[in-house]
Amino acid sequence: MRALVQRVSRASVEVDGEMLAEIGGGLVILVCAMQGDSDANARALAAKIGKLRIFRDDTGRMNRSLADTGGAALVVSQFTLAADTSRGNRPGFSAAAAPQEGERLYQLFADSLRAAGHPVSTGRFGADMAVSLVNDGPVTIWMEA
């Protein structure tokens, strides 16, 4: 699985003008299941992100995790993270998992974060979403599992 993790001071997601979710401080996690990904990949990536020390401590160093801060996660499906731009000017997305499997792994990823005790909100899989966020830092990290 692939994820783009952004530390935020606030974020929200809308579909067709309807607010689906919003969070205060925490993480926006754009996530994509890739062909060949398994339940183990989804769980491992969720565990790694939940423990990722990218929040400031009292001295201003990035030394605290989502668990340490009690922050929330806004998890948004993003199949375009599978983009192959090696040929031509139109990206290819054939490396992404099939939609049914992608949605299953996306839900498992979000559920794994919840099971670890993190407050989790989600977008709507496969929808055309409007994601708004204020990147804190900015801190943006690419991850794979």
Per-residue pLDDT of 29-39, as tens digits, reads 999 999 999 99
| Positions marked catalytic | 78-80
Contacts with 14 (C-beta within 8 Å, 6 or more apart), sequence order: 20, 129, 130, 132
Per-residue pLDDT of 57-106, as tens digits, reads 999 999 999 999 999 999 999 999 999 999 999 999 999 999 999 999 99
* CA-closest candidate to residue 50, choices 37, 63, 65: 65
- How many folded domains does the chain comprise? 1
Give dist(CA 140, CA 145) in Å, integer: 17
Domain housing 96: 2-144
* CA-closest candidate to residue 118, choices 57, 62, 68: 68
* CA-closest candidate to residue 4, choices 38, 30, 32: 30
pTM of the model: 0.95
- The domain that contains 130 carries what CATH number? 3.50.80.10
